[in-house]
Amino acid sequence: MDVVRTAIRVGAEEAYIVYRRSADEMPADKEEVAEAIEEGVKFCYLNAPVEILGDKNGKVNGLKVEIMEL
């Protein structure tokens, strides 16, 4: 959580938390999640990362995910 919030603070246009379970199952402090949302962090629940996508220069430009179910 600290890293994604710091990314926003230092100028990232977008920053995401990708989590394979639901918001209720995330072991993060609810207040900290609320503060992250206020700062602009986006949360993607029920998504499991499977591949980091990048360009020919090695710059990350996407994330391939698998949609999960409870």
pLDDT tens for 38-65 read: 999 999 999 999 999 999 999 999 999 9
Categorize the per-residue pLDDT at 23 as very low, low, confident or very high, splitting at 50, 70 and 90: very high
> What is the rounded end-to-end Cα distance, in angstroms, of the chain?
23
Topology of domain 2-67 in CATH is: FAD/NAD(P)-binding domain (3.50.50)
Question: What pLDDT shows up at residue 41?
Answer: 98
Residue 33 dihedral angles phi and psi, to the nearest 5°: -65, -45
Contact 41, 5 (CB under 8 A): yes
